[in-house]
A and B are shown apart, each in its own frame.
Chain A
Amino acid sequence: DIQMTQSPSSLSASVGDRVTITCRASQSISSYLNWYQQKPGKAPKLLIYAASSLQSGVPSRFSGSGSGTDFTLTISSLQPEDFATYYCQQSYSTPRSFGQGTKLEIK
């Protein structure tokens, strides 16, 4: 099974900051990496698929990069609505697996 590890587990930042979240896979997953945003009491929302493709309707301040085992999600200028928990997920093989999440909080 492929293990996904995110860092950091939590992060404090201010509106307007540039933020980067890292996800590492335990083996190469090519570009089969997705990013989700989850707000309290809500379902996850797809932000990025295939490592770097922006899901329709997602603001362009979100971007993804990486391939193989190392990936990043970057928010170029944090907005108030971006404070949430972010998950990476590999879709290279089954069982599909998620990272443990990164909680982004307001500083």
Chain B
Amino acid sequence: QVQLQESGPGLVKPSQTLSLTCTVSGGSISSGGYYWSWIRQHPGKGLEWIGYIYYSGSTYYNPSLKSRVTISVDTSKNQFSLKLSSVTAADTAVYYCARGNTYYNVERGMDYWGQGTLVTVSS
């Protein structure tokens, strides 16, 4: 059974960089047919797609965040990471990592999610 688990600081100061890691277990991050995503949810609000990465390193980011976002993958640790720079209070949210499934070249949605981690931006 595939499991994803987010980790990282729950409190980040304004103007600093938010850094989160998603550890994948029960499957290899290097397997073809999958992409590895970050999504966030502001308190009481809907879901916002941040971006995703393939194991090859190809990345796709939300243009609204693109200038501040970096997603990377570490296949040796079976992890992928999110960095969001120059954070403000508006970046306070629950951050989720998720696996996107494109097995057999069919887009099958994001089928496994981490439990989410609340990151608060405050001094």
Binding site for B on A (CB under 8 A): 1, 32, 34, 36, 38, 42-46, 48-50, 53, 55, 87, 89, 91, 94-101
**CB-nearest residue of chain B to A45:** B113
**CB-nearest residue of chain A to B65:** A95
1/0 per residue, CB under 8 A from A, across B87-123: the answer is 0000000001010110000111111011110000000
Query: Quick check: B47 and A89 within 8 Å, CB to CB?
Result: yes
**CB-nearest residue of chain A to B102:** A91
Query: Quick check: B63 and A95 within 8 Å, CB to CB?
Result: yes
Count how many pairs of residues, one from A and one from B, have CB atoms less than 8 Å apart in the complex: 66
Query: Which of B46, B61, B100, B106 is the one whose CB lies under 8 Å from A50?
Result: B106
Binding site for A on B (CB under 8 A): 37, 46-49, 52, 60-64, 96, 98, 100-101, 106-111, 113-116
CA distance A1 to B11 in the complex (A): 32
Query: Quick check: B113 and A87 within 8 Å, CB to CB?
Result: no
Q: Which residues of A contact B62 (CB under 8 A)?
A: 94-95
Query: Which of A46, A89, A101 is the one whose CB lies under 8 Å from B111?
Result: A46
Query: Quick check: A43 and B107 within 8 Å, CB to CB?
Result: no
